[in-house]
Structure 1
Amino acid sequence: MEPDIFDRMAAQAAGVQPPQSLSKEKLHAPAESQIAAQNPSKTPPNVRQALQFLLAHGWLESAAKPKLFSLAAAQTTLIDALLEPLDLRVVVDDVRGLAFLAVVPDYSGDDTDESEQDDWTHPLMKRQRLTLEQSLLLAILRREFLQREQESGTGAAVRVTVDSLLPQLETYLGSTGSDMQERKRLGQLLENLRTHGMVTEVDSQDCITIRPMIVHLLNPENLQTLLLRLREVAEQGSTRGSEANAEGAP
């Protein structure tokens, strides 16, 4: 309410400034800013950034994102609470500097048919389907990774040359008789694993870096399944060879 003329005259005579009227906008602005500043339910920007990175890539490494990794390691409880509606959680490997998403242990999924269950374990976590050759190379790289860790200590970067992988792959897959073709085959396998985040690109020194995620992706249960599959393939090959020899016998 505006003061009338008599109030202003009395105030001037007394040397007092008349009260100023406040607009509706001015009355509401401080209250709104105070509410925004005191909103405890809003996720901190740095936590939001770490969560968005995890959802986009599946994991983050301390070597590439040290600040985000430190934040994820320190705020696992908060991040797990934010991931709870998605049936996901964050797993932190402090020693190797790795944080990655995983499906909660009690996840039961929805009522999907069998064909969908073959392709998906979780709506946001697609099962990575690898060929036998790709799985074999993964097992070789995992062994290299663990051996280097035993020699240099856990957490050290593991780099290997492409040439050192060729004879190991030939031991299981056999030789094609062409060095160029064998190297091309290995290059294609490494490129496929790179898209899954298991290795880096081949650098100028013809080396790759094995990412620590390989330890968690290729667990002992998966290795046992791979071993059984390799035995089946070997037995099928020996059976076909025996049949061919029998057909060619006089």
Structure 2
Amino acid sequence: MPFLFQRQNGATPKVFNPGTIQQMISRRCRALAEIHPGFRGLKFTPHDFRRIFTTELVNSGLPIHIGAALLGHLSVQTTRGYVAVFDEDVVRHYQAHLQQRRQIRPTHEYRDATTQEWDEFEDHFDRRKVELGSCGRPYGTPCQHEHACVRCPMLHVNPKMLPRLAELEADLLDRRDRAEAEGWIGEIEGIDLTLTFLRAKRDEAQRRAQRPAVHLGIPARHRPKDSK
């Protein structure tokens, strides 16, 4: 049978009951906690291993759209929610990338930033701050989505603004009720699309709130040598 967990019951193959799998995992967790006290109190579900499997595949270099096909997801965004990027891996790969770039970059290009360049740099990131969080658009580019932030894929919602998302959702639902009563079909379609984006961003923000933040550091400002 096309099932990972199955056993032979006489001459008939049978699929493990989910409750049986959960009990087996719980027993293993208790045994592990006896050897490694740090695991004491932790609980795992069969679905957690599906997430671990996906994370290992993607972090090992498998394109995420292939991972989505293996998991049976219709959307790559669903698979992104399964993938846990470990903080130490992020830092290590980032540092390795910087080291590689520094080796191939001409040494004469390394110079101190001018005051004007630093002001432009800081101004760009100040402009990326919006009510719900921050915009992830590339450096030096303006907003291309007319500040429709809830729908914008570049918006990274600050977990502190989750209550604000709840307020926006309630307002959208009120507007939808009015549109439905008035027969505004086009308005209903637009509101439904906005609700879809809003709920996806809420789920993403909740996942980010559960992961510890990693401080990668901010480059120190080097003023020109002739400045005072």
TM-score by length of 2: 0.27
- Which of the two has greater strand per residue? 1
**TM-score normalised by the chain length of structure 1:** 0.25
